[in-house]
Amino acid sequence: MADRVVSFDNPVFASYAAYAGLASMKMMGMTLVTVYHRITKNVFSNPEDTCFGAKEKSVVRLDHPDVERVRRLHLNDLENIPPFLVIGFLYVLTKPSSDVALWHYRAFLACRLLHTACYLAGLQPWRGIFFFSGLATTLSMAVQVVAKGSL
């Protein structure tokens, strides 16, 4: 059974699964960061949610800069991590070298984590560099998937 591509016996698939899991956890973690900012800033998007904050200070507001920064970062993850999950899986099916695949997965996750840190700190041009590096990693896999595919 070691010749099965979609198997944890395949080191490429095992690496993909681990990095896909970590990237997904990172993306879901942004929800908790948003909640943290909403509660600590006492800023909520719905009136019924104000019960989670300090009663006298809680407000319904959709434009708090800290909350919106985190929401935009989460949206950026939602625009970049799902394509990585799909392309990364299809890339496994191309039977790439395990070393090359592992570096693709590592590079993507590292870029997303560094992009997050730079986004939260407002660091340009680093944020853009890590964004485009992560995008290039996914595009590299996509090109290889298309090259192996049949049009």
- Please report whether residue 53 resides in a domain: no
Pair 34, 74: CB distance under 8 Å:
yes
- Please report whether residue 120 resides in a domain: yes
Share of the chain above pLDDT 70, in %: 97
Task: List the CATH number of the domain containing 101.
Answer: 1.20.120.550
Q: What is the mean pLDDT of residues 17-33?
A: 98
List CB contacts of 3: < 8 A, sequence separation 6 or more: none
Residue 78 pLDDT more than 60? yes
- Please report whether residue 116 resides in a domain: yes
| Domain count for the chain | 1
Pair 142, 80: CB distance under 8 Å:
no
Range of the domain at 84: 11-28+64-148
- Please report whether residue 37 resides in a domain: no
- Please report whether residue 100 resides in a domain: yes
Provide the token pair at 38. Answer: 């909403």
- Please report whether residue 5 resides in a domain: no
pLDDT in tens, 50-63: 787 766 777 888 88
pLDDT in tens, 90-116: 999 999 999 999 999 999 999 999 999
**Confidence class for position 2, pLDDT limits 50, 70, 90:** low
pLDDT at position 117: 97
